[in-house]
Amino acid sequence: MSIAFSKPKSKLTWFIPGCSSGFGLTLTRIALSNCHTVIATLFNPSRASDLVAEVESQGGRWLKLDVDDRNSGLVIEELERSGVEIDVLVNNASYSIFSPVETASEEEIRGQMDSMYFGPLRLIRAVLPHMRKRRYRVVVNMSAGASLEGRDAVGAYAGAKAGLDGMRLLRYLPLMLRS
């Protein structure tokens, strides 16, 4: 079965949760420097006013987003409804608790799963129908080596990232069947 994808626009719109530092901030800067549009998100943009100013001065946009919120996918629905077409979703938001799984509380472990598995899942489920209509889609799930070789000090983090990796491997089947 072949899938026909449309040719991407020359200027893509990137939606990147978790842009205060690291890969998220680096990808934001690279995309902006290549004349793409970036919608960067943070849990609390007011804590990063310098970054907000930097990104907005280059035509980017900041939104507050808590990927743990069960309604976090609504931000994508609102953007698409307003005419913003998301071409690239980069699931980057994460954090780690440094604790062996036997000493981490269930609440802490669930927090890791919410941020690094269910949060990205909500965003993927929100954006894919729109991407499918446009016949162009790029979804990047940022992972970690810990998902392949769990470390005792970051067991919950490793488990959440391994779950995200597993979802990545399965995402092609629904696209092929429904495209």
Provide CB contacts within 8 A for 176, sequence distance 6+. Answer: 1, 3
Q: Is 9 a catalytic residue?
A: no
- Catalytic residue, chosen from 11, 64, 143, 147, is 143
Q: Is 157 a catalytic residue?
A: yes
CB 125 within 8 A of CB 73: yes
- Catalytic residue, chosen from 11, 115, 157, 172, is 157
- Catalytic residue, chosen from 72, 94, 117, 161, is 161
CA-angle at 59, arms to 93 and 36, nearest 5°: 70
CA-angle at 127, arms to 126 and 128, nearest 5°: 105
Catalytic positions are 143, 157, 161
